[in-house]
Amino acid sequence: MVTISDHPKAEAGNSHDDLRTALTTFETSLLSPTVSGQLATWLEEVQKSWEEASAQIHFHVKHLHPRQYDEISKQDPELLPRIEQLQAEDEAIEQQREQLSQSIGRVGQHVPKMEPDEEKAQKYTKEMIDNGTTFLIQVRKQEAAVQTWYVEAFNRDGGSVD
């Protein structure tokens, strides 16, 4: 089986592991229950883990994926329509990454002021948690798709059918 590390041009190194770790850390902080009186601490951890996850996602979408798409197109030009779909999804992910960053920033500004009224704060944190969880799934799905088509480009038989 061909992996991305088999092709030095992709220069992936540990970046997939770094992304996976950053996404898991963000997910863990996001989904950890908030203890009464610890909302500000929980939010700081969410913001800190989001900074790393956001940076990793941005790197993959803007730097690693384009190199992978270039390799895919060189190996199997018939996959160009699939590359276009992947690129469109990358654009959507980048926009949603920016929106989630803004949302986390807003919640970070407003929720600590509401901490004594945790029920009121929960409205804002729940939306952020739901959006973050949906986004994590989208990013993981995209990474699986990119890897699948990358490997497929090197394994496809371009010859005639017997």
Domain-wise residue ranges, the chain: 54-153
Distance separating alpha carbons of residues 98 and 86, to the nearest angstrom: 18
Inter-helix orientation angle 15-31/118-155, to 10°: 160
- Tokens representing residue 63 in the block: 């730097």
pLDDT at 24: 98
CB atoms within 10 A of CB 18: 16
Q: How far apart are the first and last CA of the chain?
A: 23
Residue 119 belongs to what H/E stretch? helix 118-155
Q: Which of 118, 105, 131 has its CA nearest to residue 51?
A: 105
pTM: 0.84
Q: What was the pLDDT predicted at 158?
A: 59
Rounded CA-CA distance 11/44 in Å is 33
pLDDT tens across the length of the chain (162 residues): 333 333 333 344 458 899 999 999 999 999 999 887 888 899 999 999 999 999 999 999 999 999 999 999 999 999 999 999 999 999 999 999 999 999 999 998 887 777 677 777 888 899 999 999 999 999 999 999 999 999 999 997 655 544
Res 159: pLDDT: 53
List the structure tokens of 158: 């371009």
Nearest alpha-carbon partner for 22 in 135, 99, 130, 125 = 135
Report, in angstroms and rounded to the nearest whole number, the Rg of the chain calculated over CA atoms.
19
